[in-house]
Structures are given as C-alpha cells and as structure tokens.
Structure 1
Amino acid sequence: MDSTATPARPWRTALLAGMASFLDSSALVSAGIVVGTLYPESMSLSDGQIGLVLGLQTLSFALGALVGGRLGDRFGRRRIFTWSLAAYALGAVLLAAATGPGPLVIGAVVIGLAIGADLPVSLAMINEEAPEGRKAALVVFSSVLWNVGIAVTMLVSALLSGFGAVGGRILFGYLVVVALVVLGLRLTMRESAEWRRARNAVESGESVRFRDLPQLLRPPLLPGLLATALYYAMWNVGANTMGQFGSFLHVNVVGGEVATYSLFSTVGLGVGLVAGVVFMRYVDTAARGPLFAAGSAITVLAWVFPLVVGFSEFSLLATLLLSGLGSAFAGETLYKVWSQELFPTLLRTTAQGVTIAFGRVVAALIGFATPALATASAGGTFAGVAVLALLAAGIGLLWIPRLPGARQLTSVEKNAL
C-alpha cells in the first residue's frame, strides 16, 4: 500500500459506507419478522414457503457477496456500492408491495443479492480511506452500525407489529427511505484513492503482481483465504444459530416466553454496542490480541454454560448475553478487520466475497437442520457449536497472526521490481 496523506473526512466515509452494515442487518431482521410473522396470515403462507423465502435471501446474500466482491476489485468500490444500494431499494419496494409467495421470492432474492454485493466493497472503502492508525477502528465501527441496524429494526417492528401485514409493508417502506437517503449521500463520495492508484498502475502497464483471481488460489494469498473462510464459517454457525433460532430454542427447548427472549435480546444488543465502541479504541493497538482471546473465550463459554449447569431459561439467556459480549471482541468484528489487512488492494473485495459466501452457505445448510437437531438433542447441538467456536478461536490465535499482511506482500513485490 502506498503511503498517502490522511484522507479528508474519514468518519463521513466510514458512516456512509458503513451504512451498508446498518441496512444489511435491517433487511435480514425485517425479512425474518415480516415474512415469518406479519405476512403469513394475509398471504396464506405455509411454513415451507416462509422457509423458502428466507433461505433464498440467505443464499442470495452469499451469491451477491461473491459477485459483488469481484466486481468491486475490477470496477471500483464506489460504482458497485452505488448500484447495489439502488438494487437494495428496489428489493425493499418489491417486498413492501408483494401480494403472494412469488413476489416475495423475487424481492428477497433482489435484496439478498444487493446486501451481499454491498458489504465487501463498503468495508474495503472504509479501510482504504481511513487514516493510518485508525483503519481497524473504523472497520469495527461498521460492526457497531450492524448492531444499531438490528436494534432500530426491532424497535420499529415492535411499534408496527399490531398493524399486521400493513405494519410489515411500512417497515419495508422505511428501509426504502433510508436506502434512498444513503444512496443520495453516497453519490457525493469519491472513489477510493488507494483503489484508483492500483488500477492506474495496471492500466499504465506497471507490473502489479496481486491483481488476478487465480493468485488467490495459491500462496502467498491462499493461506489467508483459507484461514479467514474457515474462521468466519465456524464462528458464524453459532451466530446464525442464536440469531435465527434463538427464540425457537428458548420456547421449544426450555419452555420460555418469546417476550422474555426479546427483552434480553435488546439488552444483549446494548451490551454488544457498548463493548464494540470500547473495542474501537483498542483494536489498532497491541491490546487487540488479548481482547480477541478474551472475546473468543467468552464465546466458547456461552455455548458450554448450559452443558455444565443444565438447560433452563436462565442458562439460555446467559448464552445469548455472553455470545453477544464475546462477538464484540472476536467473531465477525475481527473477521472484517483481517479481511482488509491480509489481501492486496485489487484482490481485497474478491477475497471477502469468497469468504462471506462460504460462511453464509455453511450457515444456511446447517440452519436447515438446526430445529430438528436441537429438538432431538439440545446438548449435542450446543456441544457442536462450542467445538466450532473453539476451533475458530484456535485459527484466530494461532494461524492468522502468522500470516503475511498486504503491506508485507506489496513491500516484497516492490523490492523485487
């Protein structure tokens, strides 16, 4: 990476690009609430149709990340996250106006593709425009916005839930308005200066080693791709289990009330937000490693706790709160940071697209079986998630810190020219 002067208004860039995380989490949560609870009666949706719509949204997210990540490296961060946000607004309009399963599927696929494409290019934009010494902090800020998106959506949905399907349409309409406002503001942003320099070097005939897709599939980039993909997939199984099936587990495994689970979910979001803001202060310092280790240990403890004390409403709520706290210092938060640091400019969003897609597909496939597995053996399900969380921690502690970063790779490349 070339050294450059501090970009102007990096926080504005971090906010506008980071709104991808806000809108992405809002879309996922809104679809789950509206398609799962507010639309079924008026549209006569079966359980299978609900599962199909939400499953296709998750798989479309994976495909969007894969395609959008590659296009972001080829054609620029700004162009892709502009078009993806326009597609997001279109998908939200389709979901708001849907009258049956067919339109719902189309809307879910469109918005899934859009949020998938938006995420890797937005994260790269934040990293590349952030000043030295604050790059990781501003990437972590996007994770804070992800949690804010969930919290705001849950609040709005609580206010609208009494209106049934009309409330669901209003909720999707709210997403349209936010997306269009952010789109208008994003149109005032410049392209990533780092990406422009890298592309100009290619177009002027300079030797730029790390730019072609096959290079991701061999050393020195392949180990980083494998490490981040495996880390994200293993950690994300637990996050997806708690995110999609937390209320199911609470009701069907220990006989708890949905209202109690929703209350503690809100508390957990607050804990995660505060911890995320704290982590922003230290993620660019030597304290990152110890905090990651602590966050990983808390995440493993979250899934082990019910196995030790027994399954009860208390132990499952403890899992909810502990996993939220641990994720503020590990999990997707650090995955996003590593994905910026390990890959050179012209392969950065491609790599993220591949690893996001892999992680989402793994989560979707396991998610299909999670209700049956949890009903048959809650202990076995929690033990399996705990093992995956422990393996992910091992990758983050023992493998990823030993990988060469993008700075080292490009430094070697320049010295060799």
Structure 2
Amino acid sequence: MLNPAQKQANRQGWRIAFAAGLASYVDSGAIVGTGTALVILQGTIGLDPAQVGQLSALLTVAIAAGALIGGRLGDKFGRRRVFLTTLSLYFLAAVVLMFVPSVGVLYAGLAVLGLAAGADLPVSMAMVAESAPEDKRGKMVTFSHMLWMAGILGVIVISIFFGNAGLLGAQIIYGHLAAVALIAVALRWGIPESKAWAESVSAPVDEDRVDLLSLRTLFTPKLIAPMIATGLFYALVNINANTNGQFSTYLYVNIAGVDVATASMLSLGVLLLSVAGLFVMMRVVDTSNRHRAFVIAAVVALVAIAIPLVFGVTALTLTIMGVVGALAGAIAGEPMYKIWSQELFPTAHRSTAQGITIAFARLVAAAVALFTPLVIAAGPALLFLFLLGTSAAAFIIGIFWIFRLRTFLRHDGGVEVPSPARSAA
C-alpha cells in the first residue's frame, strides 16, 4: 500500500514522463511526417527526386547534430531550460513548414526542425529518468517509446484521410506537430528542474563529480566503455528498425507487389500490434526478469528477420516479420537502449553521453539508407542477410558487454543501476 508521499511521487513522475516524453512523439512525427509530406510536395511545389533525397538526409543529419549539441547543453545549463527552448524552436519550425512558401524555406525549416527535435531527445529522456520513482524508472522511460510510436500513428492516420489532399495534407501533418509541440511546452512550463541535476552541480568535486566545463570525464575508462557499448548497440540495432521504417512500403510495393494503400494499412496493423511488446517491456524492465526477457526477445527478433530471407519477400512474410520483429524489438531494441543510457552514466554527463550515442546512431542510419535501394535492387536476400548480421552483433554487445558493465557502475545521486533484486541487467 502506497503512502500519500509515494502516491504524489508517482503522479509527478508520470506527469513528467508524459510532458518530457513527448520529445519522442515529435521526433518520430518529424521523420515519418516529412517522409509523407515530401511525397505530397513533389506535385505541389515541384520537388524533384534529388531534392527529396537531400531533404530527407538533411533532416536525419540535423537530428544527429541536434542530439550532440542538446545533450551537452542539457548537462551544462540544466534539463528544464534546454527542453523548453528546444521544443519552442521546434514549434516555430513546424509552423513555418506548415505554410511551405518555397523550396528554400523547406530546406531551412527542416534543418531547424531536425536540430530542435534532436536536441530535445537526450535532455528529455534524462529528465524522465531523474524524476521517476526508483521502482518505476524503467516503466516511465519505456513509456516514452510508446509516445514515439504514437507519433508514427498520428502521421499514418492523417495520411490515410488527407494523403491525397495535396498541399493541405502536408500542412495538416506539420500543423499537428506544431500543436503537439505547443501542448508539450505548456505542460513542461510547470515542471521544476531535475533535482538530481541540481544536486550534481552543487556537489563537492570528487572522482564521480563531472567537470561541467569539459568533456574529459566522459573519456575516462569508467565512462568510455559504456558510451561505446551503448552507442554501438543502438547504432546496430537501429539499422533494422530504421530500414523497416523507411523502406517497408518500398519493399511491399516494389518487391511484394502490393499497392501503396494496402502497404499503409498493413504497416498500421503492425504498429498497433507492436504496442503489446511495450506493455511486456514495462512489466519486466524493473524486475529480475529483464536479462532473461532481453535474451528471448533477441532470439525472436533474429527469427523474424530470417522469415523473408528463408521464405521469400511477399506481403505475408513482410507482415509476419514486422509483427514479430516489433514485439521483440520493444524489449531488445531502442527502449532498452534508453534504459541503459540512464543507468550507466552519472547525472552531470548523462545527457551529453546520450546525445553523442543518438547522433552516432542516426548518422549510421542515414549512411545505410543511402545504399539500401541499391542493395534491394541487387537482391532482397542481401538486405536481410545484412540486417541479420547487424542485429546479431547488437544483441551480442548487449548480452556479453552491457550486461556486465552494471557490476562496477554505480554513480552519484542520480540514476543508479538497479540491484539484482529488481533487475538482472
């Protein structure tokens, strides 16, 4: 039975988890929404294929750069000040994009939108983790990934109803992102600064105290290992997730032979079913079953990728892969990266470290995406072999490296690694 103080802490934690977690909604909304909007704008403002590719790459690189910058600013100036500024900037960029007056403004607007979305992510995730009750921390960080999926769902629903409405469709996509950003700013306004961050700034200098005027501490043996490990894990596991997000419709239409409408409906079904995986993750992440659940999910994820490789690329095999892979990825994918990123770094450098790893993963994803259509043209089997290899490498890093790091990484008064009584990871 919770006492009144614990109930209040839970309510405040979930409030912050929602308000700060909307960073994930606007991030996925920007990526998926821009992908749809650029297709619409080809016929309305005259974008050519080269410009579509350039604008897509620009957004991805801007998010990476924003994560790198925002993470550092969040450790230097505090979570609250930075995440209010970044989301306000996102709102302004989305409003500009909503009117899309010219191709030049589209380039500038997407650059700012990406920078703002990327800068908001590591700071907001750190705020969620540092504000959550200890026994709810994993659940609340995982909840942010549910909001990430909600961003995709929002764009898909808008596209179903307004995808054929020309410029209006693109305007509604960016208008809805502006509205969500404005709501998030309003919700965040009453949130106090992270207590853990404030205490880390005022704490006496010792071996665990991070010098906010330099990045040297991040490159000491104690922290460089978890930063490399989480960065590699996220970059490798995100290749499969990003490929499915960007090229599932391409595979459905060009290889499996279904139309765009059917592909969109199948993708919507996969998205809705994958929410079940996140509920499982929220139940096990703060318990001693986390390690076991990760291993099982990793095996299932590899089996999912192998399905179209073994049985050929059809609408059925792609859908089965999508459903099974999404369920497994909720436990052995990006949500687990988010948990580890909060646990393995001291408060004063948590946001910076996460910004670096997010930036690295997004740049890797952008580079792989440039060559993915060529790989598919050479033979879809090559693509799924590549995804199988990168995913297997990610899971090996998680099981045999990151799991072991927790034994000697207990940091200052911020987010500590859970004890074995609650979590085996």
**Which TM-score bucket, shorter chain as reference?**
over 0.9
- 8 Å CA contact 2:17, 2:140 repeated in 1: yes
**1:339 aligned to 329, 338, 341, which one?**
341
Shift, 1:129, TM fit = 0.5
- For residues 347-395 of structure 1, give each alpha carbon's deviation from its aligned partner in whole angstroms, at most 9, with x where no partner exists: 1010000000000000001101100111112111110110110111111
Q: Secondary structure at the match of 1:115?
A: helix
Distance verdict in 2 for CA 1:207–1:275, change over 3 Å: closer
- 8 Å CA contact 1:156, 1:171 repeated in 2: yes
Q: Which residue number in structure 1 is paired with residue 36 of structure 2? A: 33
Shift, 1:410, TM fit = 4.0
Shift, 1:174, TM fit = 1.6
More displaced 10-residue stretch of structure 1: 65-74 or 320-329: 320-329
Alignment of 1:222-301 (within 5 A): 222-301=224-303
Q: Which residue number in structure 1 is paired with residue 210 of structure 2? A: 210
Shift, 1:169, TM fit = 0.8
Opposite residue 300 of structure 1, the aligned amino acid is L
Q: Which residue number in structure 2 is paired with residue 401 of structure 1? A: 403
Within 2, Cα distance between the matches of 1:116 and 1:227? 21
- For residues 96-126 of structure 1, give each alpha carbon's deviation from its aligned partner in whole angstroms, at most 9, with x where no partner exists: 1213321111111111001101110111001
Q: Secondary structure at the match of 1:42?
A: coil
Q: What percentage of residue pairs aligned between the two structures are identical?
A: 40
- 8 Å CA contact 2:347, 2:412 repeated in 1: no
Which consecutive residues of structure 2, in runs of 5 or more, have no partner in the other structure?
Answer: 414-425
- 8 Å CA contact 2:22, 2:147 repeated in 1: yes
Opposite residue 42 of structure 1, the aligned amino acid is T
Distance verdict in 2 for CA 1:380–1:88, change over 3 Å: same
**1:14 aligned to 13, 17, 22, which one?**
17
Shift, 1:335, TM fit = 0.2
- 8 Å CA contact 2:62, 2:114 repeated in 1: yes
Opposite residue 387 of structure 1, the aligned amino acid is G
- For residues 221-276 of structure 1, give each alpha carbon's deviation from its aligned partner in whole angstroms, at most 9, with x where no partner exists: 11101100110010111111110011111112222222222112111111221221
Q: Secondary structure at the match of 1:43?
A: coil
- 8 Å CA contact 1:84, 1:115 repeated in 2: yes
Alignment of 1:4-403 (within 5 A): 7=9, 9-35=12-38, 37-201=39-203, 209-211=209-211, 212-403=214-405
Shift, 1:208, TM fit = 5.0
Q: Which residue number in structure 1 is paired with residue 418 of structure 2? A: none
Superposition TM-score, scaled by structure 1 size:
0.93
Opposite residue 49 of structure 2, the aligned amino acid is D
Within 1, Cα distance between the matches of 2:280 and 2:314? 31
- 8 Å CA contact 2:200, 2:412 repeated in 1: no
RMSD: 1.7
Within 1, Cα distance between the matches of 2:208 and 2:339? 24
- 8 Å CA contact 1:343, 1:406 repeated in 2: no
Q: Secondary structure at the match of 1:254?
A: coil
Superposition TM-score, scaled by structure 2 size:
0.92
Distance verdict in 2 for CA 1:406–1:56, change over 3 Å: farther
Within 2, Cα distance between the matches of 1:63 and 1:375? 31
Opposite residue 209 of structure 1, the aligned amino acid is R
Distance verdict in 2 for CA 1:280–1:48, change over 3 Å: same
- 8 Å CA contact 1:65, 1:117 repeated in 2: yes
- 8 Å CA contact 1:20, 1:115 repeated in 2: yes
Q: Which residue number in structure 2 is paired with residue 414 of structure 1? A: none
Q: Secondary structure at the match of 1:408?
A: coil
Shift, 1:298, TM fit = 1.9
- 8 Å CA contact 1:144, 1:277 repeated in 2: no
- 8 Å CA contact 1:18, 1:141 repeated in 2: yes
Within 1, Cα distance between the matches of 2:327 and 2:105? 38
Opposite residue 226 of structure 1, the aligned amino acid is I
Shift, 1:409, TM fit = 4.1
Q: Secondary structure at the match of 2:287?
A: coil
- 8 Å CA contact 1:342, 1:405 repeated in 2: no
Opposite residue 88 of structure 1, the aligned amino acid is Y
Shift, 1:42, TM fit = 1.1
Q: Secondary structure at the match of 1:190?
A: coil
Within 2, Cα distance between the matches of 1:151 and 1:313? 21
Q: Secondary structure at the match of 2:163?
A: helix
Which consecutive residues of structure 1, in runs of 5 or more, have no partner in the other structure?
Answer: 412-417
Q: Secondary structure at the match of 1:256?
A: coil
